[in-house]
């Protein structure tokens, strides 16, 4: 980079390598002009109505990143007090703070980022950055969902991963970041895909998932709360020998009250609900299983299906294929 002596606020940028030898985009930008920074970050991060307060006489900002159509690795620094709204629609965005402080507000709650602790950001949120240094990984949602085998898969935003999850994520970052960020060499398509899949797999393993059932009951009344308790109980105990009586007791409802509530809000009976959750659980085990070490019959029994023939027929009706076919597709 060549510094500018004509205008001390002029952006300095390394534009000599706009792409890597294999076609990935590469950008490195440094500057002190706040308006230039907002223009850049607004385009890249969809900032909406940003509000900036200077925290020093000469603000500084910089950005570096390498991206293709499935993933980008980015590092950013912005030494101002910034408040804005942001929207992420087609990407899962993993962020962790290097320096400064940041508060993310969504769904009526505000959560401070912890230095060094990665989290998945919400799709829509308000942020308050204060002299931040931030690392980010953006993963294409459609690609992650295809790897998981669930078109509705999503993460439980802003939930702190376990210590094991943090270690798993950090391990992948250490193993693959330098390879991805090395903009002076070519990565073969297979090598690029391997790095992307390593990050995507680590994210799925590291960060809590938002189960689909968690958004099926809308509303905040007492009945909605009891119904959510029923759903939580079924998902936690679907492998156990439970039925309507146990589900109703866990939700603080009578068996008839549970039946009426499920019918009213989800158009299901307790038996329908339990069978659906068990089928989903069995399918997950089949898709993850090794066909040389996994038995369809063992998985069916583990999820409370005592009759293999009925299990196979119900499974095929639900998913459009036999359990054995799900096991072979791994």
129-177 confidence digits (pLDDT tens)? 999 999 999 999 999 998 887 787 888 889 889 898 999 999 999 999 9
Predicted TM-score (pTM) of the model is 0.65
Whether the predicted pLDDT of 219 surpasses 50:
yes
Residue 324 sits in which domain range? 212-328
Q: Are residues 316 and 194 in the same domain?
A: no
194 and 237 together in one domain:
no
For the chain, the domain total comes to: 2
pLDDT tier at 4 (50, 70, 90 boundaries)?
very low
Q: Is residue 37 part of a domain?
A: yes
pLDDT digits (tens, 9 = 90+) for 49-99: 889 999 998 889 999 999 999 999 999 999 999 999 988 889 999 999 999
Question: Within this chain, do residues 26 and 106 fall inside the same structural domain, yes or no?
Answer: yes
**Do residues 150 and 193 both lie within one domain?**
yes
Q: What is the CATH number of the domain that holds 155?
A: 2.60.120.10
The confidence score (pLDDT) of residue 214 equals: 60
Q: What is the pLDDT of residues 302-329, one digit of tens each?
A: 999 989 999 999 999 999 999 998 887 5
Quick check: is 3 in a domain? no
Same domain, 111 and 259: no
CB 315 within 8 Å of CB 283: yes
Q: What is the CATH number of the domain that holds 270?
A: 1.10.10.60
Q: Is the domain of 48 the same as that of 139?
A: yes
**5, part of any domain:** no
Residues 171 and 290 in one domain: no
Determine, yes or no, domain membership for 6.
no
80, 38 in Cβ contact below 8 A?
no
Q: Does some domain include residue 198? A: yes
């Amino acid at each position: 980079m060549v510094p500018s002596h004509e205008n001390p606020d002029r952006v300095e940028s390394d534009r000599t390598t706009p792409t890597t030898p294999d076609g990935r985009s590469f950008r490195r930008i440094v500057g002190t002009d706040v308006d230039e920074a907002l223009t850049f970050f607004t385009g890249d991060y969809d900032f909406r109505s940003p509000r900036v307060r200077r925290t020093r006489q000469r603000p500084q900002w910089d950005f570096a990143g390498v991206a293709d159509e499935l993933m980008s690795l980015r590092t950013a620094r912005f030494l101002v007090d910034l408040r804005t709204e942001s929207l992420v629609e087609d990407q899962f965005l993993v962020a962790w703070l290097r320096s400064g402080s940041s508060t993310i507000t969504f769904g009526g709650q505000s959560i401070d980022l912890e230095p060094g602790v990665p989290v998945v950001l919400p799709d829509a949120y308000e942020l308050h950055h204060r002299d931040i240094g931030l690392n980010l990984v953006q993963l294409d949602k459609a690609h992650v969902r295809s790897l998981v085998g669930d078109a509705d898969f999503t993460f439980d935003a802003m939930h702190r991963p376990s210590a094991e999850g943090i270690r798993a994520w950090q391990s992948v970052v250490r193993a693959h970041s330098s390879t991805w960020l090395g903009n002076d060499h070519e990565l073969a398509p297979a090598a690029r895909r391997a790095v992307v899949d390593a990050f995507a797999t680590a994210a799925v393993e590291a960060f809590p998932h938002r189960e689909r059932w968690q958004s099926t009951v809308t509303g905040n009344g007492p009945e909605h709360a009891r119904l959510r308790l029923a759903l939580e109980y079924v998902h936690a105990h679907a492998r156990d020998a439970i039925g309507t009586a146990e589900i109703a007791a866990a939700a603080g409802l009578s068996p008839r009250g549970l039946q009426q509530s499920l019918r009213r809000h989800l158009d299901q009976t307790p038996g329908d609900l339990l069978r659906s959750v068990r089928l989903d659980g069995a399918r997950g085990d089949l898709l993850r299983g090794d066909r040389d070490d996994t038995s369809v019959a063992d998985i069916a029994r583990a999820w409370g299906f005592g009759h293999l023939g009925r299990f196979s027929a119900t499974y095929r009706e639900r998913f459009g294929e036999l359990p054995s076919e799900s096991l072979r597709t791994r």
